[in-house]
Structure 1
Amino acid sequence: MGFWTLLEVACMPTFQVLIISVLGAFMATEYWNLLPVDARRSMNKVVFVVFTPSLVFASVAKTITFEDIISMWFMIVNVGLTFLFGGILGWILVKIVRPKPYQEGLVMAACSSANLGNLPLILIPAICEEDGNPFGDHSVCKRVGLSYVSFSMALGGFFIWTYSYQLIRTSAMKWKALQAIEAAEEASKNPNSDLDAEGETPLLKGEDEEQGSIVVSSNGSRNQEAIVADESDVPFSRKVVAFVKQILHELLAPPTVAAIVGFFIGSIPFLKKIIIGDSAPLRVIEDSITQLGNGTIPCITLILGGNLIQGLRKSTIKIPIIIGVIIVRYVVMPVIGIGIVIGASKVGFLPSDPLFHFVLMVQFTLPPAMNIGTMTQLFDVAEAECSVIFLWTYLVAALALTIWSTVYMWLLS
């Protein structure tokens, strides 16, 4: 497969994202006014609760069996390593460029959380269909590649809706705390401001009492901010219980639950025959879920485009942050991925299928997960900044995916 042919294959999914994003941007302008802020937030909740879980469930239940899970065990490790190294590099980038506190979670999530779903879902089958690909017969390559990508999507959803979700949630808490502090300072200048009997205004209450609260004294000075930490008086056992509850709360996110149910049904032949397949008695369930899942990518991309207008107008993201995310995602991470996959292959952890090796390497080369935009919308934090980061990373993705895909296939051929 020549460079220009591969360039066309790699560009297609990225161009699809950009074209639909442009449409979403126009729909959010004052001229059309079809996607105002409230409409995007409502659509985003539907995507989070209905569309994304449907897509994840349909992809996993159709293509994954228990034997596949056993044979592809290293992909679990590989996806975990993409988040680990990406998170470390994102943390280093935050320490170097020092973004605003509410942007830190977004930067780390953009560095660590790759688009392990819809882009590989388009890219891998397209490469398989090209003449001269190093992965063998077109139909076999496509069928096996879809099983790899579906497993990758499910694993990505699990990590994104736990790790990345927590990063964005923490940033939202910082943003609300900052807004509350500024509001308290403004109120302190007004003699009629509402203060409690002790002259302190509570600004942020955590989900659990042991997380403490932030208070500002009645004169509103930032120098007199105090963080009331109650954790020192909380028994260790209560801290453990609170931690476990938090993990369970993250795991109960609809996309994660859908992935777990999809694994369960896909790995049990009896259940799979009842629900999945053209001859299944309850195939109407699969058909309905599949139709709902088909709306995920268009809706997410339209929302991304709608947020882009706001991002271009109001974003305060620093240029070094954008450059840093691009370097992490398209320079450092692919090199790490090559080292990990080649090393695992030499140790004997990987099957001999070169397509499996290729998918593992591609997982280190993808742009940020679009679900990050869903999270920023849900928590109402850094939406504009997220759109700008997505704009530049997805523009660069076309060239980066092409170059690195060529390198990967050269290494594996």
Structure 2
Amino acid sequence: MGFLSLLEVASMPILQVLIISILGAFMATDYLNLLPTASRKSLNKIVFTVFTPSLMFASLAETVTFQDLIAWWFMPINVGLTFLFGGILGWIAVKILKPKPHLEGLIIATCSSGNLGNLMLIVVPAICSEEGSPFGNHKACSSVALPYASFSMALGGFFIWTYTYQLIRSSSMKYKALQAAEEISKLPNNDLESDEKTHLLEGEVQEHVAILVPSTRPTEEYTEENQAMPQVSASKLEKENVSFWGNIIVVLHQLLEELLAPPTLSAIVGFFFGAIPWLKNLIIGESAPLRVIQDSIKLLGGGTIPCITLILGGNLTQGLRTARLKPIMIIAVICVRYVLLPFIGIGVVRAASSLGFLPSDPLYHYVLMIQFALPPAMNIGTMTQLFDVAQEECSVLFLWTYLVACLSLTVWSIT
């Protein structure tokens, strides 16, 4: 397969994303006004609670088996490493570039979370169908291409809706805290406004002075206070222990919330249905008694990618005008995703292969390597819309990273 053929295969899914994004941007303009801000938020909630869980469940239940989970045990580790190294590089970029606090989570998320879903579902099977594919017979290659891509999508969804979800939620909290601080700073200081009855006449100044002046108590009172110090210290230690366990409870509660998020929960259920044969036979196959359930879920899941892309395009119309994202930040994300991470990925895959951790299938090696070279996950846009933070900046960042992805995917595929 030559460079031009690979460029065509790698460009097709990217061009699909860009075309649908342009359509979403046009739908959000004042000329059509089909996707105003309120509509995008409502549609985004449907994507989060219905479409994305349906897509993840349908793909996992149909394509992944228990034997696959055992044979492909290294893929979860590989996906975890993409998030780990990407997160570290994103954190370094944040520390160097010092963006606004509410943008830190977005930059780390785009550096660490790759599009392990729809791009893999399009690119990997398409490479198998091309003449002169380096992965051998078309039928043999295609028979494993879709399961590889589906498993990759499920693993990516699990990490995205736990790790990345927490990053964007933290950014939202920082953003709301900054907004609250700005609103407080804009409030008039009524204490400085004087009238016929000032604070001086009320005697409030004397009270403030009394608080600020050092105490001149007798030595006896000072001694009694020192004797009471051990009791105070003990109570402080008790409070610290209580706060420690309280923090653990809060962390566990947050983890439970993330695991119970609709996409994550559907991925877990999909794993069970795919791994347990009698459950799978209930809904998968022409003779399955409940196959209509799987067909309905697949139908719903098919709306995920178009809706996410339309929302991103709608946000782009406002983002190009109002987004405050420095070009150096866009360049940093592009360098991390398309230069540094792929180099790390080649090293990880070669090391795992030399240690005997990987099967001999070259397509499996390719899938593991390409997981390090993908553009940012589109679900990040869903999260920014869900938490109402950095939506415009996210759309601008996606525009440039997906434009560069056409060339970068081709280069790394050839490598």
Alignment TM class, shorter chain as reference: 0.7 to 0.9
1:26 match: 26
- 1:279 aligned residue: 287
Q: Which secondary structure state, in structure 2, belongs to the residue aligned with residue 114 of structure 1?
A: coil
Counterpart-to-counterpart distance in 1, 2:169 and 2:409: 30
What is residue 404 of structure 1 aligned with on the other side?
412
Letter in 1 for 2:164: S
**Coordinate RMSD, CA, aligned:** 1.5
Deviations 1:312-364 (A, max 9, x none): 01100111000000000000000000000000000010011100000000000
Residue 324 of structure 1 pairs with residue 332 of structure 2: yes
The one-character-per-residue Cα deviations of 1:80-126 (angstroms, maximum 9, x if unpaired) are 00000000000000011111000000000000000000001000011
Give the 3-state SS of the residue equivalent to 2:187 in structure 1.
helix
Alignment of 1:88-99 (within 5 A): 88-99=88-99
TM-score normalized with structure 1 length: 0.88
* 1:243 to partner: Cα distance: 1.6
| Aligned counterparts of 1:102 and 1:232: Cα–Cα separation in 2 | 30
Structure 2 counterpart of 1:367, from 370, 375, 378 = 375
**Structure 1 counterpart SS, 2:157:** helix
> Between Structure 1 and Structure 2, how many residues are aligned?
371
1:355 and 2:360 matched: no
Report the secondary structure of 1:350's partner residue. Answer: coil
Q: Give percent identity, aligned residues only.
A: 67
User: 1:279: how far off?
Assistant: 1.5
What secondary structure does 2:35 align onto? coil
Specify the SS of the correspondent of 2:365.
helix
Give the match's secondary structure for 1:279.
Answer: coil
Is residue 76 of structure 2 the alignment partner of residue 76 of structure 1? yes
Task: State the secondary structure of the residue aligned to 1:131.
Answer: coil
- Distance in 2, matches of 1:231 and 1:158, equals 36
Measured against aligned partners, the alpha-carbon deviations of 1:225-273 in whole angstroms (never above 9, x if no partner) come to xxxxx98463433322222111111111100001000000010111111
Corresponding residue SS for 1:234: helix
Stretches of structure 2 that go unaligned for 5 or more consecutive residues are 194-237
In the TM superposition, what are the counterparts of 1:120-135 in structure 2 within 5 Å? 120-135=120-135
Measured in 1, the distance between the counterparts of 2:239 and 2:130 equals 59
The yes-or-no answer on 1:384 pairing with 2:379 is: no
Cα deviation, residue 139, structure 1: 2.1
Distance in 2 of aligned mates of 1:155 and 1:399: 25
The equivalent of 1:58 in structure 2 is 58
Give the structure 1 partner of residue 214 of structure 2.
Answer: none
State whether structure 2 residue 142 is matched by structure 1 residue 142.
Answer: yes
- Structure with higher Rg: it is 2
Superimposed CA distance per residue, residues 140-162 of structure 1 (whole angstroms, 9 cap, x where no aligned partner): 21220111111111110010000
Cα distance in 2 for residues equivalent to 1:28 and 1:233: 52
Measure the CA separation in 2 of the matches of 1:242 and 1:96.
31
The question of 1:293 aligning with 2:313 is answered no
Change (3 A) 1:394 1:347: same
Change (3 A) 1:97 1:291: same
Deviation string 1:366-406 (CA, Å, 9 cap, x unpaired) is: 00000000000000000000000000000000000011111
Q: In 2, Cα distance between the equivalents of 1:354 and 1:133?
A: 11
- Greater relative CO (CA pairs within 8 A, separation 6+): 2
CA distance in 2, matches of 1:112, 1:188: 43
1:189 positional shift: 4.1
CA deviation map 1:16-73 (0-9, x unaligned)? 0000000000000000000000000000000000000000000000000000000001
1:248 paired with 2:243, answer no
The 5 A counterparts of 1:121-200 are: 121-189=121-189
Greater helix content = 2
Can you give the 5+ residue segments of structure 1 that lack an aligned partner in the other structure? 194-229, 408-413
- Distance in 1 between residues matched to 2:323 and 2:178, nearest whole Å: 17
* Counterpart in the other structure of 1:198: none
SS in 1 for 2:33: coil
Using the TM superposition, give the Cα deviation of residue 277 of structure 1 relative to its aligned residue in structure 2, in angstroms. 1.4
Residue 135 of structure 1: how far off its partner (Å):
1.0
Q: Taking structure 2 as the reference length, what is the TM-score of the superposition? A: 0.88
